[in-house]
Structure 1
Amino acid sequence: MWFWLALAIAAEVTATISLRLSEGFTKLLPSALVVVGYVVAFGALSQALVRGMPVGVAYGVWSAIGVALVALIGAAFLGESLTWVQIGGIGLVIAGVLALELGRTAPHG
């Protein structure tokens, strides 16, 4: 199930970056990557869920890693800014997802 979630994340990040590169859907290749990427992302996410991953964990991991990767790619390759406050926010989102995952396996008392 983790393979499917990783595929969903990669496809969603590809689609989101392609959305930026499509310039309002005026460029064909990035526009096609947006559509294909989101279809693959949701299809792969559904496969992770079918295989037993809890929806809260799947969506949390998917969104947190997606946000972090899109922000980092934007800063590294698209000339977008990334401040220390934004980096801290990304860290908090990732920490929240880790808490969600760790809480799932914690003993109930």
Structure 2
Amino acid sequence: MRVISQNGAIDVPYEMTAFHLAGGMIRMNMVGDTGKVTLMAQYETPEKAEKAMEMLHKAYTGIMPSLVIDRNAKLDEESMKALINSTAGVFVKPANAGDIDVHMLPRIFQFPTDDEIEVEE
């Protein structure tokens, strides 16, 4: 998954990045590089920053590797529809008659602006 900074200037791979909450700021550094910290987003309150981090975690949840079901599976139309409906964020296409290829589409998360986040008080 790709993570885009709030202002759109920074684009990093989630899997190689450590994100940190610091008050109302969300900062990151590349895994293994503790010397350089980069601001990814800034919010009026720590609660809004926490909510943005929750949104990031939810965006990442559910990412799965590619799945191929071979032609011997013999999925009927109803089963195929159920598979497609259960794989939000993926591309499902028959490779050959009876084959199914499932591939993850690239996911992108951009930190929302301060006014796009609502927190309960």
Q: What is the TM-score with the length of structure 2 in the denominator?
A: 0.28
Give the strand-richer structure, 1 or 2.
2
Structure with greater Cα Rg: 2
Higher helix share: 1
